[in-house]
Amino acid sequence: MYNSGILDYYLMWITNVEMYMDKLHFIVNPVAGGTSAIDKFGAVKGMLDDMRFPYTYEFTQCKGHGRELARAAAEQGEKYIIAVGGDGTVNEVASGLVGTDTVMGILPFGTGNDMVKVLGIPTEPREALNVILADRPRAMDAGYVNDKFFVNVSGFGFDVDVLLKHEKYKKRFKGMLPYLLGIVDALTHLRTLHLTLHDGERVWKKDALIVSVGNGAYIGGGMKATPFADPFDGLFEVSVVSSISRAKFLRLLPSFIKGEHTGLPEVEYFRTKELYVECPEECLINYDGELGSGMPVRYKIIPGAVKMLVQQDMTAANAEEK
């Protein structure tokens, strides 16, 4: 006998024939979430097996491998490719699918899972699978910075310093603790970046601590760096925190974490389709939690770059836009 969860899937199966003529192909990061992705994916496989639903899967073996696997699977005709892991895995799979007709889904089984917060995708296995099986794709924007794609947030400054410190602490601690320790450590080495910015209409200079360029809203496991970002509107949201004292920055940081910083005098917040930034200081770039080459950087939005499976209310919003 089906339990209530499996019955839900079965009912969706028999009422959505068009999708269910095709299987799902999963690209799994086996070390995401401290290997918890494997356990959660096992639960998902069990649900699909109970339905006798066709699927295949393969594991990533190193950084960047997800992009190669996604591109190859799309070229081989896979119609639905599901990223299983955290934000890095989502970035890699999305990067491999930009500009293709393949539909992407997410099982958010990583640590931070920032991208799915703005997409409204649950982190619980059964509910996340429910979103995938409902088959509601929507054309989502992507960002392009130098030679890298990103679907959530890119930036530089304090958030990159936090990521670098986080890498050190995650070898010893699990969960969100490495992020928190990374924040504390980065605060003790707070540094100013001397920037020249071009947004296609104006050129200006700015001394800053953090620059966040958002297609999505969240970074670092839940900090709302660009709280009004919409990954379906064809625009970046950009947040620039001015160079201020450590004491002032500490007072500002709770507002930054909650996304309540955009109207503060120490913050410049704007929307744009492109952004070019120069900086004389050595500076790595964060894109969806991964680090890449430094300055100068040129950001460009790519509207409708990836077909993403989302919650029903998002597809309804898409219909209203049309």
Residues 6 or more apart whose Cβ sits within 8 Å of residue 198 = 275, 276, 277
Cβ 241 vs Cβ 252: under 8 Å: yes
Q: Which residues pair with 81 in a beta bridge?
A: 25, 104
Q: Which residues are catalytic?
A: 290
Kindly give the residue spans of alpha helices, DSSP state H, lying in the chain.
Answer: 4-15, 17-20, 36-51, 65-75, 87-97, 114-119, 125-134, 158-169, 177-187, 246-258, 312-321
- Cα 5 to Cα 149: distance, rounded to the nearest angstrom: 36
Q: What's CA 68's distance to the chain center, in Å?
A: 18
Q: Which amino acid is at 146?
A: N
Cβ 131 vs Cβ 121: under 8 Å: yes
SS3 call for 51: helix
